[in-house]
Amino acid sequence: MIPTDSDTATDFSLRALNLVNSGIIVLDAHHKIVLWNGWMVPRSARAAARVRERSLFEVFPELRGSRVEAAVLAALSPSADGASTTIPQSESRAPFPLRDAGSFDGPRIDQAVTVTPFRDGEQRYCMIEIRDVSGAVEREKRLLDHAESLRARSYVDGLTGIANRRYFDVALDRELRRAQRAKGELSLLLIDIDSFKAYNDHFGHQQGDACLSTVAQALAAKLKRPADVAARYGGEEFAAILPDTSLEQARLHANAIRDHVAGLALPHAPAAHWPMVTLSIGVASFDRERLHEVPALIEAADKALYAAKRGGRNRVVVDGDASA
């Protein structure tokens, strides 16, 4: 049973407030502290006796001009309607200089702060509640990091370590839109390992996977700029997205890639067209009249690629060449 004697009841209430797992500060109409519960003491390094009857903004000068001050002034105004105000964490995660209990130089705890006006007869007061939400913030950060990690992994080809088809689709659409807005240039390379079925049949799928990885890394090594994208398009096909690259510049890039892989001198199967692993590459570039959509750009590069295959493999064909 709660004691009925007023002084005893007051002591009982204070003991109960000191057990609350959050900071409780009560201010009078002059912003002076009339209550400072036990939770606040170790986290602020200030005993209740030191702060009582002092202005909150004298104890914490940095609160001047903050959302906390605005909420306190509103709560203590004669027109206050009794509604609580929650301080958005987007403004400040740690408005009060509070730290873990016993830590005098550690990082501030993340806080959820609520300001509530109330009256006792004719006297106006407000209560500030401060909850430590550091654990929730840390959990949220871990979840966001985990989600970002999953998203990043979903864009990587598991075998070769370069971008996968999903990322290729996103990146090509993004870069094409950018080229359209900026009236810039964009080129696409579709790349195929020549006679790869013969390679797999002769060396086996494990060695075939190693070959795919080697070619993927060789492709990625030739794309130096941050916006360039090397991707596995599917099976033994790869792709390169080259922003700010003209058709003729893309032809030079494609031939450099083809020469680089041929220079690796990876032995091919006896049934292959060439004695070493080679690439056929089709090239197409964005233009505003004809190749201004993703499907059209891919189709043009694909036709150029198959023209390179028909022309004897180990070669580059550009959209618009006579052979294409």
Active site residues: 236
CA distance 121 to 4: 20
Contact 252, 196 (CB under 8 A): no
Tokens representing residue 122 in the block:
């004719």
The strand ranges marked E within the chain are 23-28, 33-36, 85-86, 111-120, 123-132, 186-193, 229-234, 237-243, 279-285, 316-318
CA distance 260 to 83: 71
End-to-end CA distance of the chain: 94
Tokens representing residue 85 in the block:
């105000």
Sign of CA dihedral 86, 89, 91, 97: positive
The one-letter amino acid at 184: G
Q: What is the DSSP letter of 230?
A: E
User: 């150029």: which residue's tokens?
Assistant: 304
82: left (phi over 0), alpha (psi -120 to 50) or beta: left
- DSSP labels for 27-71? EETTSBEEEE-TTHHHHHT--HHHHTTSBHHHH-GGGTTSHHHHH
Count Cα neighbours of 321 within 13 Å in the Cβ-side half-sphere. 24
Tokens representing residue 91 in the block:
């403004």
